[in-house]
Structure 1
Amino acid sequence: IIAEDSQVPTREHSWHDLFNALVWIQFPRTKALLNRLHMEDINLKGAHPRTPRRNRITHFDECGVVIAVEEDHLQKGNALLSQLAHHQWNQVFLEERSAWGEILHPFVFGHANFEMMLSPFEGLTGKWMAIKVPRGFSNESVERQHERLDVALCERIQALDNFNRAPLLKPIPLLGIPHWYQEQTPCFYENKDYFRPMSVTSKPSVQLPLT
């Protein structure tokens, strides 16, 4: 519908659709790119079942978290992203708590995450993608940050072969991100049902290292 009409369908009384429309306003280039990639696969292989690439696109569209790292912090940023990718939750969330907002700058992209955050629950999880941003990004206005994120995110997706490569996205427990939840005690991070160890069969993400 969006590809045909250039309009974002928004049902009345739907938080899900409202947040989707708001993300379109914040990230118009990226949302248009995701829509185009969906349509490419639909035109080639039909709408059902979804292709593996469309599943990855959908995961990011619904549950994506963008983690921005300024270009002069890449070395430290990659060390932290590696901890995140390897589910080293205590290290990246507790021991490196001060790095969030200084080295790692997280932004919610997935509109389903916004909807679920209306009633947060342990288990709320996103799928993250890291991008490089210019030095001084953290000092810019929110509007300028979103403009930069939108451009950088499109470039990053294209550099990663438009979701054709896997494994790409890794999970991030949203309530564990420092300053995003009030109950972030050391005991909270010991909940293995939420902060799950990495599977022994898990493969490294193709998005690391960030360059």
Structure 2
Amino acid sequence: MAAGGVNPLSAVDWGAPWLQPWRPLGEPLAQRAVAHDAAVHAILQSAVVAAAGPPVRFVPQSDLPAGAAYEQFIYDQLRVPTRDNLHDFFNGLVWLQFPQAKRRLNQLQAQAIAADGVQAVRGPLRDALTVFDENGALLCAPPPLWDALRARDWHRLFIGLRPLWGEARLVLFGHALMEKLVSPRKPMVAHVFAAPDAMHSIADIDRWLATAMEADTWAAKPFAPLPVLGVPGWWPANAEPGFYDDAQVFRPPPVSRAGTGG
């Protein structure tokens, strides 16, 4: 994977707050990949064999035929073409942690391809599924936090209601977001979907999310943008109230055009 250089998996800080749900599975796999200079697909496949799941196999990227749609290939073959990079390593971890949700997401992608074909611009459903697959997260939180998040009332969300974050749980789903957070930057945003408060484990969230993904609902992108490094306890700098004054990151809600003159 490193091709004679430093293996990028060695740069992952598994102590980061956003990786805590992923650390028990991800850190040992990353350590083995680094120690043995193993291909990412082989390391991920070893975890599939050990756990008797998920319902896919991880294979080299070269197994994907030229011109074939990636999502359709996975749906038809139950094989995930995997490159030797961080992006695909994290994608594999999501398959391992959320097998039912990833399978449902892939099913919806295949349905959209069957209906519309593969076009230069994705349709609304495929676009929404891709956004969540790459940058999504699940948030279990008290209603006041959700009200403030949906209103993009950042000061209320992160300062006025800060103690309530102790009752919240944010779990990353998007593998591209996890890859980007290896080198954290303030503007990084998750597209957040509301999860019930009763979710006590990743397995609970996985089962629930697989049933919550409905084509009509998800085509409307039912997500809220959340600058993840604003989450209390996730980044030392956000302990300073001025952290949230950056309007380039903590953007106000879009101005409604309803009732405006033409």
TM-score w.r.t. the length of structure 1 is 0.82
Higher helix share: 2
Is residue 65–residue 107 contact of structure 1 (8 Å, CA) maintained in 2? yes
Of 145, 150, 159, which residue of structure 2 is paired with 1:94? 159
* Alpha-carbon spacing, 1:68–1:101, altered in 2? closer, same or farther (3 Å): same
Q: 1:39 corresponds to which residue? A: 110
Q: SS of the residue aligned with 1:101? A: helix
Q: One-letter code of the match for 2:211?
A: E
Which residue of structure 2 aligns with residue 195 of structure 1? 250
Q: Equivalents in 1 of 2:128, 2:195: separation in Å?
A: 17
Contact map agreement 1:66 1:129 (CA 8 A) in 2: yes
CA-CA distance at 1:44 after TM superposition: 1.0
Q: Any runs of at least 4 consecutive aligned residues in structure 1 with deviations exceeding 6 A, and if so which? A: none
For the 8 Å contact 1:133–1:152, the answer to whether it is kept is no
Counterpart residue type for residue 177 of structure 1: V
State the shift of 1:93 in Å. Answer: 1.1
- Closer/same/farther in 2, CA of residues 113 and 88 from structure 1, 3 Å limit: same
Q: Aligned runs of 1:36-75 on 2, under 5 Å? A: 36-48=107-119, 49-69=121-141
Q: Residues 44 and 59 of structure 1: is their aligned pair in 2 closer, same or farther, counting only changes over 3 Å?
A: same
- Give the structure 2 partner of residue 208 of structure 1: none
* Contiguous gaps of at least 5 residues in structure 1: 70-76, 138-144, 204-211
Q: What do residues 76-114 of structure 1 show as CA deviations (whole Å, max 9, x unaligned)?
A: x22220110111111111121221231x21100100110
The counterpart of 1:154, out of the listed 210, 216, 240, is 210
Residue 183 of structure 1 is matched in structure 2 by: 237
How far the C-alpha of 1:171 sits from its partner, in A, is: 0.5
Indicate yes or no: 2:76 matched with 1:4.
yes
Does 1:79 pair with 2:135? no
- Of structures 1 and 2, the one scoring higher in RCO (CA 8 A, sep 6+) is 1
Indicate which of 8, 27, 41 corresponds to 2:98: 27
Percent identical among aligned pairs is: 34
Deviations 1:98-144 (A, max 9, x none): 21231x21100100110000111121001000011428x3xxxxxxx
Query: What is the deviation of 1:162?
Result: 4.9
Partner of 1:105: 169
Deviation at 1:41, TM superposition (A): 0.8
Q: Indicate conservation of the 8 Å contact 2:128/2:221, yes or no.
A: no
The count of corresponding residues between Structure 1 and Structure 2 is: 184
Q: Give the greater-gyration-radius structure (CA).
A: 2
The separation in 2 between residues aligned to 1:133 and 1:24, in whole angstroms, is 23
The equivalent of 1:168 in structure 2 is 222
Name structure 2 gaps, 5 residues minimum. 1-72
